[in-house]
Amino acid sequence: MDSKYASYGKEKDQRNKFDIKAKKIKLSVDGNSFKNVKENNQANGSCNNNTVSALNEVSEDVQDVRKSLPVYIVRNRILEEIRKNNTMILIGETGSGKTTQIPQILHEQRLEGNGAIAVTQPRRVAAITLALRVATEMNTEIGSYVGYSVRFEDATSPKTKVIYLTDGMLLREAIIDPLLKKYSIIILDEAHERTVNTDVLFGIVKLAQKERNCKGNKLKVIIMSATMDVDTFRNYYDNCSVVYLEGRTYPVTIYHSKTKQDDYQYSVVCAIFQLHVTTPANHHFLVFLTGQEEIETVMANIKQIAKESPGPPIRVCPLYAGLPPAKQLLVWKSVPEGTRKIVLATNIAEASVTIPHIKCVIDTGLVKERSWCNVTGAERLRIVPCSQAACWQRAGRAGRTAPGSAYRLYTNGDFKARPQHNTPEIIRCPLAATLLMLIATGMEPSTFPLIDAPSPDSVQASLILLKELGAIESENNPKLTVLGKKMTAFPIDPKYSKVILSAPEHGCLDEALSLVAVMSSENVFHTPLHKREEAVKAKQKFVSTLGDHITLLNVFKMFCKAPLKKQWCKENYLNHKNLSYACDIRHQLLAICQKLNMEVSSCGTAFDQLLKCLLSGLFTNCAWTRGGMTTGAGKYATASGAAAALHPASSLHGLRPPPPAVLYTELLHTRRAYLLTVSAIEPHWLHQVAPEYARRCRANR
DNA sequence: GAGCACTGC
């Protein structure tokens, strides 16, 4: 009876999983219902770069469009506030135009004086597109009066007065000049996202402002945000003034689920088909899910049910960051008249990208979140309810071009019980890189003003790591060493900069650069659910018995040699974007090495040297087999005593006997604790490469 | 023998 479902997966249990779901859903397409909780609830969207794409579609004269923006209409009041105050918070909803207009208005009045205006963005694409848009509006070339600065790309010149840049770039500038004297006005946009970089910039800018105001070289600071915890920000900036701007979004009607949903993947498919048969075909759906596998499963379910469901034809589009760009593009491609588009997305669709003509949002209210344990160094990925702010942000995606509706697969009570805002990233991520950067700008980590401080244990753990890497004198006296100073030159994880700086003595800088570049990029292997076997087979030709690091190096080397890179990647199930990014990073790292007069040596195929070099930066990431051979399945214990297994995707997985000692790149807890990207090492290498650490390690074990 | 959310320098 179930032969029609058999094509989904080749493994038996997988097929059964699909069968059950599909059957259950078919029976209840019209069974699930929602309660209309609020009518005409204006969703709180975010501000940002979306203004740009929306504006580009308008054929009217650029200046007319500008002048119709809410922010333009109240510009004189805003100017007055900015003139009066050194610090100001500007809350603006989606479509208010604040990010494109405020810098122009300031520049028109020459408020920047001899300095420049910096506008920070959390994302590269946003910084670039905003700058291009504003250059058009100001009728000037990009890179003259208006420019942008992002990693690998600098479109500014000495005469640039308005600079859009990623917050990470402004942070790098702060290492060279902590007072940021180049700028007379700094606008920190998208403050509500609370990325680590923005959080650190809040403090750097606050301190710079204090010091510069004493010296008569004033710095104006404007914090821009969509919804946010205004009181927190206002307290932090000494009760500065707050201006609210109206947005221009359409009303979104919110519906909550009447009862608690036990199985959200099932509820999602129910909701989709319930709405599918009752709404016009040109009402496209945007569905928020948590990850690739889930999206692929739901997509398969929808396609199967659609065959027998009434209603218009359906086109399902997956959207997640790991999807190759060519496949992502399908989301923006128009569908034939009378076809419904259903986009299944992760939270990438929450702020990073905008999909036009979405009338209906279906929200699971969940997000996959990464957190860090500062005792074991393990990172954990788990599915958690998202904040109220994120829920509003998601709902707002239905009201971009016309009124819409949002269906929440959780109850109103559940919604109200959620935290108002997401936990700031700085509370839950490893801090070594951030602390090294702070120390490099001359700040004292213990007194640096942060809106939300990470736990003292978390700071201490990261300082200890920096001490072990030889970057600072001691955890209680966090002064940069000569090595530490060199490490700050590299825009990568301190462990990796240590690897590069150790490479000359192991005679393998050439290989170390490639390996660090790939490890600093994202996963290069693309594994679609339905083509897993082909992907695994393609990977075989790169696999090294020494482990995953040499495997990665093989991939990178062959990528560099391949003449038709895109096609080659597709054939080999590799991610072209991430490999190209690794190439860019390698160029950048090589240039820094050359500035530091490092000799580019190669170890050829003497990979022991490379692995020892890798160990000199990642020596805290060793694990040893435990309990002899009885477990057999590759059970390991890390230096901190955490139990973990080799990840099944590792090339060392399944080796009998398992290597007694391994070096891992990452310890990630999903369903279990796994060691990711692993190489076999000789146990005595640790004593050679990091003798002090090895001794302490032994004492504790 | 299981699966990596999203950014950034």
Is strand B less than 7 A from the beta carbon of A367?
A: yes
Binning pLDDT at 50, 70 and 90, where does residue A652 land? very high
Q: How far apart are CA A202 and CA A455, in angstroms?
A: 19
Q: What is the pLDDT of residue A48?
A: 35
Q: Could you tell me the distance in Å between the CA of residue A421 and the C1' of nucleotide B2?
A: 32
Residue A696 clears pLDDT 50, i.e. is over it:
yes
CATH number of the domain to which A302 belongs? 3.40.50.300
Mean pLDDT lowest among A23-32, A141-150, A444-453: A23-32
Instruction: Tell me the CB-side half-sphere exposure of residue A230, using CA atoms within 13 A.
Output: 13
Nucleotides, chain B, CB distance < 7 Å: 1-9
Residue A4 clears pLDDT 50, i.e. is over it:
no
Binning pLDDT at 50, 70 and 90, where does residue A58 land? very low
Phi and psi based region of residue A346 (left: phi greater than 0; alpha: psi -120 to 50; beta: remaining): beta
Q: What is the pLDDT of residue A701?
A: 60
Is strand B less than 7 A from the beta carbon of A384?
A: no
**A268 and A230 part of one domain:** no
Is strand B less than 7 A from the beta carbon of A517?
A: no
Q: What is the pLDDT of residue A16?
A: 29
| % of chain A exceeding 90 in pLDDT | 64
Q: Kindly report which amino acid residue has its CA closest to the C1' atom of nucleotide B1.
A: A648
Is strand B less than 7 A from the beta carbon of A381?
A: yes
**A688 and A672 part of one domain:** yes
Cβ atoms of residues A513 and A553 within 8 Å: no
Structural domain ending residue among the three candidates A207, A226, A245: A245
Binning pLDDT at 50, 70 and 90, where does residue A71 land? confident
CA A634 to chain centre: 31
Structural domain ending residue among the three candidates A245, A276, A311: A245
Is strand B less than 7 A from the beta carbon of A424?
A: no
Q: Could you tell me the distance in Å between the CA of residue A82 and the C1' of nucleotide B6?
A: 33
Which residues 442 to 471 of A reach strand B, CB within 7 A? none
Q: Kindly report which amino acid residue has its CA closest to the C1' atom of nucleotide B9.
A: A491
Secondary structure class of A597 (helix, strand, coil):
coil
Is strand B less than 7 A from the beta carbon of A346?
A: yes
When divided into structural domains, chain A yields a total of 4
The nucleotide whose C1' lies nearest the CA of A585 is B9
Residue A433: inside a domain, yes or no? no
**A283 and A343 part of one domain:** yes
Q: Kindly report which amino acid residue has its CA closest to the C1' atom of nucleotide B3.
A: A293
Binning pLDDT at 50, 70 and 90, where does residue A40 land? very low
Which residues 27 to 86 of A reach strand B, CB within 7 A? none
Residue A171 clears pLDDT 90, i.e. is over it:
yes
**A237 and A311 part of one domain:** no
Residue A249 clears pLDDT 90, i.e. is over it:
no
The nucleotide whose C1' lies nearest the CA of A153 is B9
Q: What is the pLDDT of residue A695?
A: 87
Please give the average per-residue pLDDT across A30-58, as a whole number: 34
Binning pLDDT at 50, 70 and 90, where does residue A10 land? very low
Please give the average per-residue pLDDT across A326-354, as a whole number: 90
Among the listed residues A299, A272, A285, the one whose alpha carbon sits nearest the alpha carbon of residue A32: A272
Which residues 603 to 622 of A reach strand B, CB within 7 A? none
Is strand B less than 7 A from the beta carbon of A153?
A: no
Please give the average per-residue pLDDT across A371-379, as a whole number: 87
Is strand B less than 7 A from the beta carbon of A330?
A: no
Please give the average per-residue pLDDT across A645-663, as a whole number: 90
Which residues 189 to 208 of A reach strand B, CB within 7 A? 195, 197
Q: How far apart are CA A379 and CA A492, in angstroms?
A: 18
Contacts 24+ apart (CB under 8 A), A235-238: A236/A202, A236/A206, A236/A449, A236/A451, A237/A87, A237/A89, A237/A206, A238/A87
Q: Could you tell me the distance in Å between the CA of residue A346 and the C1' of nucleotide B5?
A: 7
**A406 and A343 part of one domain:** yes
Mean pLDDT lowest among A70-74, A209-213, A288-292, A518-522: A70-74
**A86 and A188 part of one domain:** yes
Please give the average per-residue pLDDT across A52-78, as a whole number: 69
Q: Could you tell me the distance in Å between the CA of residue A434 and the C1' of nucleotide B5?
A: 21
Residue A467: inside a domain, yes or no? no
Residue A72 clears pLDDT 50, i.e. is over it:
yes
Q: Could you tell me the distance in Å between the CA of residue A538 and the C1' of nucleotide B2?
A: 18
Q: What is the pLDDT of residue A375?
A: 86
Residue A47: inside a domain, yes or no? no
Which residues 160 to 179 of A reach strand B, CB within 7 A? 166, 168-169, 171-172
Average per-residue pLDDT for chain A: 86
Residue A8: inside a domain, yes or no? no
Is strand B less than 7 A from the beta carbon of A290?
A: yes
List pLDDT tens digits, range A317-326.
Answer: 999 988 888 8
Q: What is the pLDDT of residue A122?
A: 92
Residue A564: inside a domain, yes or no? yes
Q: Which helix (H) or strand (E) holds A438?
A: helix A432-440
Residue A26 clears pLDDT 70, i.e. is over it:
no
Binning pLDDT at 50, 70 and 90, where does residue A635 land? confident
Q: What is the pLDDT of residue A60?
A: 56
Residue A474: inside a domain, yes or no? no
Is strand B less than 7 A from the beta carbon of A150?
A: yes
The nucleotide whose C1' lies nearest the CA of A633 is B1
Q: Across chain A, how many H-helices and E-strands are there?
A: 29, 22
**What pTM, to 2 d.p., does this model score?**
0.86
Residue that wins the pLDDT comparison between A15 and A638: A638
Is strand B less than 7 A from the beta carbon of A261?
A: no
Residue A232 clears pLDDT 90, i.e. is over it:
no
Q: What is the pLDDT of residue A43?
A: 34
List pLDDT tens digits, range A86-98.
Answer: 999 999 877 788 8
**A316 and A417 part of one domain:** yes
List pLDDT tens digits, range A303-321.
Answer: 999 998 888 999 999 999 8
**A274 and A349 part of one domain:** yes
Q: How far apart are CA A70 and CA A257, in angstroms?
A: 35
Is strand B less than 7 A from the beta carbon of A15?
A: no
Full residue range of the structural domain in which residue A636 is found = 619-700
Q: Could you tell me the distance in Å between the CA of residue A38 and the C1' of nucleotide B8?
A: 38
- Which residues lie below 8 Å from residue A681, measured CB to CB, with a gap of 6+? A611, A615, A622, A659, A661, A662, A663
Q: How far apart are CA A83 and CA A194, in angstroms?
A: 27
List pLDDT tens digits, range A574-611.
Answer: 999 999 999 999 999 999 999 999 999 999 999 999 99
Q: What is the pLDDT of residue A54?
A: 39
**A579 and A656 part of one domain:** no
Residue A478: inside a domain, yes or no? no
**A318 and A403 part of one domain:** yes
Structural domain ending residue among the three candidates A385, A407, A425: A425
Is strand B less than 7 A from the beta carbon of A291?
A: yes
DSSP β-bridge partners for residue A669: A380, A673
**A580 and A693 part of one domain:** no
**A241 and A256 part of one domain:** no
Is strand B less than 7 A from the beta carbon of A666?
A: yes
Residue A481: inside a domain, yes or no? no
| % of chain A exceeding 70 in pLDDT | 90
Is strand B less than 7 A from the beta carbon of A402?
A: no
Binning pLDDT at 50, 70 and 90, where does residue A30 land? very low
Cα dist from A253 to A41, A193, A361, A398, whole Å: 5, 24, 10, 9
Among the listed residues A47, A39, A40, the one whose alpha carbon sits nearest the alpha carbon of residue A248: A47
Please give the average per-residue pLDDT across A477-502, as a whole number: 95
